[in-house]
Amino acid sequence: VSALVSPAETGYLVYDLHSDRLHQLNPAASLVVELCDGERSLDDLHEILQPLVGDEGWTACRTWIDAAIDDGLIAADKDADPPVNAKQLTARANELWEDDDVLAAFVCQERAASLEPEDPAVWYTLGELAQVVGRRSDARHAYERYLDKRPDDAEIAHLLIALRGDPAPARASDECIEQLYARFASFYDETMTGDLEYRAPELLRCALADALRGRTDLDVLDLGCGTGLAGQQLRSLARRLIGVDLSPTMIDQARARRIYDALDVDELAAYLRRGHTRFDVIAACDTLIYFGDLAQVIEPAAQRLRAHAAIAFTTERGDVDPFVLTDSGRFSHHPNHIRAVAAAAGLVVARLDDEVLRFEYGRPVRGLVAVLQMPSA
Ligand SMILES: C[S@@+](CC[C@H](N)C(=O)[O-])C[C@H]1O[C@@H](n2cnc3c(N)ncnc32)[C@H](O)[C@@H]1O
């Protein structure tokens, strides 16, 4: 075989580096490819296949083999394999990924990993690609190989909890969040507002403006403020706007925006429990995706609200009640969980809207936009 072969559920995926074509082979074609191991002649193939498929079947096989040789899938000469190394294959995988040809990219990267199994970077990329194409067990295997060599990687350790189906932590660890956003901060705004069509901040502001009947003199706390994308929207409602985030790198970006009156690097649940200042609005846009049970945040936040105040947040919507850690490493929450947590904290659910928050790999990310309010006397 002169191309890259990857086993798939019903046969093989074959990517031909020369023609840049990906073939999805059915089980019969896969068997032929498997028999073309460089050691067997056409006569050998005839001897094996003819008793299985009969004369007519063999004629069809011959036609397919000739076409496969023409297509570059099978080489007539067993020494025809082009010399390709892991670096070249990774480069090709990245090009294909750029062009959204993710399945072919996965096949290239899988071969790169088999050629260079001691290099953690090839496993990391293979894990990412396996996730993009929805090959969960391949992603798990690749990330496990990577983590063997990079045991301090808190992000991948967190992802593996989900991919292995291990019991979820109460929230993503501080190390995981800090690592993830130190890496992401410099291109966060561009990625979110560009390719991912991030709409959560605007949705949150609209829901809040509606619930608070247009007030614009509010003391607002922005939890997990990040670079300030949500803060930018909240600013129009605020007399005073405070941002808190665990990631110093994200806070640096927020500071450069010059829209906050104060910014703190802190873990948000600890921040809520520690302080006494009260707010008119406590917002958390795309932040509670890193928490399992939302009571961890909503209960201490409810203690920091003034009369008529509101907590407003977005979460990713899940079908599992109460919540689940998904393969993305983020939690999704069921609307019933939000209702239950609000009731336990003595809050009224003013809004709980189904919305598309952004896109991921071209697919919509379904979310909930929630506004919980202090009950009026
Ligand atoms: C997806 S970003 C959202 C940022 C911003 N709210 C926005 O809408 O663009 C999530 C932010 O939450 C922060 N974060 C996650 N868990 C946190 C925690 N436990 N304490 C403080 N910040 C946290 C991250 O550092 C990150 O900046």
Kindly report, residue by residue over 188-242, the tens digit of the pLDDT.
999 999 989 999 999 999 999 988 888 889 999 999 999 999 999 999 999 999 9
Please tell me the pTM assigned to this model.
Answer: 0.86
Alpha helices in the chain (DSSP H): 27-35, 42-71, 86-98, 102-115, 120-132, 136-149, 154-164, 174-193, 200-211, 229-234, 248-257, 268-274, 295-302, 335-344
229 C-beta closer than 6 A to ligand 1: yes
**Ligand 1 center to 38 CA (angstroms):** 54
Torsion sign, CA atoms 269, 271, 277, 281: negative
What does the pLDDT look like over 35-92, one tens digit per residue? 887 788 888 888 888 888 888 888 888 888 888 887 767 776 656 555 589 999 999 9
Percent of the chain past pLDDT 90, that is, above it, reads 73
Q: Which residue has a Cα nearest atom 19 of ligand 1? A: 267
- φ/ψ of 264, rounded to 5, equals -130, 135
291 C-beta closer than 6 A to ligand 1: no
Specify whether the CB–CB gap between 77 and 62 falls below 8 A: no
290 C-beta closer than 6 A to ligand 1: yes
Question: Which residue, chain included where needed, has tokens 């966060």?
Answer: 188
What does the pLDDT look like over 93-115, one tens digit per residue? 999 999 999 999 999 999 999 99
What does the pLDDT look like over 233-281, one tens digit per residue? 999 999 999 999 999 999 999 999 999 999 999 999 999 999 999 999 9
246 C-beta closer than 6 A to ligand 1: yes
Mean pLDDT score, 144-161: 98
| Local structure of 282: helix, strand or coil | strand
Q: Give the Cα separation of 152 and 175 in Å (integer).
A: 10
Q: Which residue has a Cα nearest atom 12 of ligand 1? A: 224
178 C-beta closer than 6 A to ligand 1: no
Mean pLDDT score, 17-32: 81
DSSP 187-207: HHHHHHHTTT---HHHHHHHH
Distance from chain centroid for Cα 52: 45
297 C-beta closer than 6 A to ligand 1: no
Using 50, 70 and 90 to split pLDDT, how confident is the model at 1?
very low
Torsion sign, CA atoms 198, 199, 200, 201: positive
> In ligand 1, which atom is closest to the CA atom of 188?
9
Q: Give the Cα separation of 357 and 373 in Å (integer).
A: 22
Q: Which residue has a Cα nearest atom 26 of ligand 1? A: 226
Q: Among 203, 290, 298, name the best residue to mutate to test ligand 1's pocket (greatest count of ligand atoms within 8 A of Cβ).
A: 290
Q: Give the Cα separation of 105 and 92 in Å (integer).
A: 7
All residues at 6 or more sequence positions from 119 whose CB lies less than 8 Å from its CB, including other chains: 86
Q: Give the Cα separation of 164 and 166 in Å (integer).
A: 5
177 C-beta closer than 6 A to ligand 1: yes
- Average pLDDT of the residues of the chain: 92
Mean pLDDT score, 309-336: 97
Q: Give the Cα separation of 186 and 141 in Å (integer).
A: 30
Mean pLDDT score, 306-331: 96
> In ligand 1, which atom is closest to the CA atom of 267?
20
Q: Which residue has a Cα nearest atom 10 of ligand 1? A: 287
